[in-house]
Amino acid sequence: MAHAAGDSHEQAFYGGHLRVTFPILDADGDLVTGAAALDSEVSIDGGTFADCTNEATEIATASGMYYLDLTGVEMTGKQITVIVKTSTSGAKTTPITIYPKRLKSIASGTAQAGGASTITLAASTIVKDGALDGCFVLITNNGAAGSQYQLRRIISSISSTQVATVDSAWGTNPSVASTYDILASDTVNLAGWGGLALASINTNGLPDVNTTKLSGTTQTARDIGASVLLSTGTGAGQLDFTSGIVKANLTQILGTLLTETAGLLAGGFKKFFNVAAPTGTLNSIPDAVAGAAGGLRIAGTNAAVTENITGNITGNLSGSVGSVTGNVGGNVVGTVASVVGAVGSVSGAVGSVTGNVGGNVVGTVASVVGAVGSVTGLTASNLDTSISSRASQTSLDTVDDFIDTEVAAIKAKTDQLTFTSANKVDSNVVEMAANIITSSVIATDALGSLELATSAVDEIVDAVWDEARAGHVVAGSFGQGVASVQGSITGSVASVTGNVGGSVASLTTNNDKIGYRLSATGVDDILDEVVEGTYSVRQYLRGFAASLLGKLSGAATATVTIRDTGDTKDRVVASVDANGNRSAVTLDVT
């Protein structure tokens, strides 16, 4: 079946040819050119992968970009998954996922003719010029061999000829035997309806519409227009009004009949609302029965009822007050149970106050006039007595001065310490008693390269080597041995490096090296010497011998095997690509 560049669409469509373009990349994300042995496979709606009808092709020349032509059959699913593999070394498999869009068929038929980029549709398919512009035409059979599943967008549709021009050339031109479906697009330019022109669009972007009937009833301009015409009267459906003002008689409120005497309701409205600039509303009236708790007071009935009062009282208040919250600006005469807030002054006797005043009286008390029976708690007089029983200020000052003096003396000493290393005090030992430093008091490695300066080590070495030999004669000691070297050497010497200044009593002649050879142990030492990694000379020789002289198999495959010269085991197993390049090698050189 023929494919062409026209099979490339801005999106994939169900049942239509599709040319998809993609790159083939390596592990570094670089384009792979000339990918070899391409293998394209497709899965429809999660089914088993199968070879695609067509194979991927590189876009010329050596671009690393490829295209694959999927057939209409391969596009008949909700999800189309494609993988493109290659044998080129380093190239990665390319995955492609496609979600075809299913378009609604709005017409179908058999073509009258077909051209390079046109199709003549069945009679009356195009009812108005441009009516099918933006729709798609899908060839649904092979009336022209190889033409099935071709999908093209219509860019021009002529009603007089029924010729639809498509956006790109067909791969195979349709013929008089070709059947088709017209598929609706999201971008159809709807210019007509049922063969008739649509209404014109006004300046607000809305169509001008003239409605002639509603529910089958013919309408006139009076029935539906810019305004509704009302007629006055007292009949059914009529209103009583004068000069555009409708007269109304209120007989119900929310379904409840009004039983008020005529004129009272209007009088009430006037009573409430006949105010030029009202400052209150009905919300200003308590929602409670008048005269009851929370309701309006009724003069002469309950004005003297005892109640709680919240708010400020301007003026004098006589009598007993249970409690007062807030400030009292003037004088209070009589007994007050408790006061919260500031009190200007209190006249009268206070029995007693136990504890802090803040507990029972919150706020500031300007003055108390009258006798106070007793005060229990910490007062100024009690505080003076308590302090006087303790140490005097003079003795406290003496202690403070002593502490300051001693701390200053200690600080003067510690300021002289130097801490080059953390938690270690730098020190110089000027003099030390005998037997202070012994092996039992110096830990192992206590004196090392970090503790001794280079100059100190050099001084110790110089002192040892400059020490006279005369005092070092203990048999077997290093000093005695050095002293003997300065004279003659008696006895055998294992080896001598350098020239012998004096005479040698006897020396075995050994000038002829002919006939000497390495022992078996010496040869093994050489052969077992590791050359690289963990492989020795002996193991490498086994590998070399197999590679040069052993049997070889799998030379034309991805795995090459080389046997040892005795044909007892696989010495070398290598993974190779089509060019013979090794990607992995397994050795057995034991």
**Comparing C-alpha atoms, which of 565, 569, 571, 529 is closest to residue 549?**
565
Same domain flag for 56 and 72: yes
Give the phi and the psi of residue 551 in degrees, each rounded to 5: -70, 150
Nearest 5°: phi and psi at 284? -75, -15
DSSP symbol at 470: G
Which residue in this structure is represented by tokens 């509303």? 281
Please give the Cα distance from 382 to 135 (Å, whole number). 105
Q: Which of 384, 349, 383 is nearest to 368 (CA)?
A: 349
Does any domain span residue 372? no
Q: How many CB atoms lie within 10 A of CB 365?
A: 13
Asked if 93 contacts 22 with a C-beta cutoff of 8 angstroms, the reply is no
336: Cβ contacts below 8 Å, ≥ 6 apart: 321, 324, 346
Question: Are 141 and 151 within one domain?
Answer: yes
| d(C-alpha 578, C-alpha 88), whole Å | 8
For residue 194, how many C-alpha atoms fall within 13 Å in the half-sphere facing its CB? 1
Distance between CA atoms of residues 121 and 182, nearest Å: 10
Same domain, 60 and 24: yes
CA 373 – CA 465 distance, rounded (Å): 103
Which CATH number is 57's domain given?
A: 2.60.40.10
The verdict on 583 and 555 lying in the same domain is yes
Q: Please report, for the chain, how many H helices and E strands are present, in that order.
A: 8, 35
- Residue 184 covered by a domain: yes
Positions in the chain whose pLDDT score sits under 50: 354-360, 362, 383
Taking the C-alpha atoms of residue 325 and residue 313, their distance in angstroms, rounded to an integer, is 12
Whether 56 and 144 map to the same domain: the answer is no
Work out the number of other CB atoms within 10 angstroms of the CB of residue 317: 13
Across the beta sheet with 368-369, what order do the strands follow? 328-333, 343-347, 368-369
- Residue 548: domain span: 521-587
Q: Is residue 456 part of a domain?
A: no
Question: Phi and psi of 385, rounded to 5°?
Answer: -65, -40
Residue 116 in any domain: the answer is yes
Domain boundary among the residues 54, 78, 101 is at 101
| Position 171 in a domain | yes
With CA atoms as reference, report the closest residue to 175 among 126, 124, 110. 110
- 1/94 same-domain check: yes
Contact 7, 54 (CB under 8 A): no
Q: Are residues 186 and 148 in the same domain?
A: yes
Exposure string of 252-287, with b = 16+ CB inside 10 Å and e = fewer, is: eeeeeeeeeeeeeeeeeeeeeeeeeeeeeeeeeeee
- Element of type H or E holding 19: strand 18-23
Regarding whether 93 and 6 lie in a shared domain, the answer is yes
Structural domain count of the chain = 3
Rounded Cα gap, residues 575 and 554, in angstroms: 10
Say if 309 falls within a structural domain: no
Domain termination site, one of 142, 170, 195 = 195
Distance CA 442, CA 435 (A): 12
The secondary structure of residue 413, as a DSSP letter, is: H
Write the single-letter amino acid at 533.
G
Residue 197, both tokens: 């022109």
Give, as one character, the DSSP assignment of residue 490: -
Residues contacting 502, CB < 8 A, separation 6+? 488
Supply the DSSP symbol for 273.
H
- Comparing CA positions, the residue from 180, 153, 149, 156 lying closest to residue 167 is 153
Query: Could you tell me if residue 6 is inside a domain?
Result: yes
151: Cβ contacts below 8 Å, ≥ 6 apart:
7, 9, 13, 15, 16, 17, 72, 136, 137, 138, 139
Burial class of residue 54 (count of CB atoms within 10 Å of its CB; 0-12, 13-18, 19+): middle
Residues 379 and 401: beta-carbon distance below 8 Å = no
Q: Which residues pair with 198 in a beta bridge?
A: none
| One domain, residues 118 and 88 | no
90 and 142 fall within a common domain? no
The DSSP string of 188-252 is ----EETTEEPPPB-TTS-B-----EETTEE--TTTSSSS----B-SSTT-B-EETTEEP----E
Q: Where do we find the tokens 């998809």?
A: 20
**131 and 62, same structural domain?**
no
Does 333 map to a domain?
A: no
Contact (CB, 8 A) for 320 and 335 = yes
Could you say which of 71, 101, 131 is where a domain stops? 101
For residue 66, give the H/E element and its range. strand 65-70
SS3 state at 576: strand
DSSP string of 358-399, one letter each residue = HHH-BS-B--EES-B--EES--HHHHHHHHHTS--HHHHHHH
Cα–Cα distances in angstroms (integers) from residue 167 to residues 87, 152, 170, 188, in the given order: 38, 6, 9, 14
Question: Residue holding tokens 């993609």?
Answer: 22
3-state SS record for 72-129: CHHHCCCCEEEEEECCCCCECCEEEEECCECCCEEEEEECCEECCCEEECCCCCCCCC
181 in the same domain as 137? yes
Q: Give the pLDDT of residue 402.
A: 87
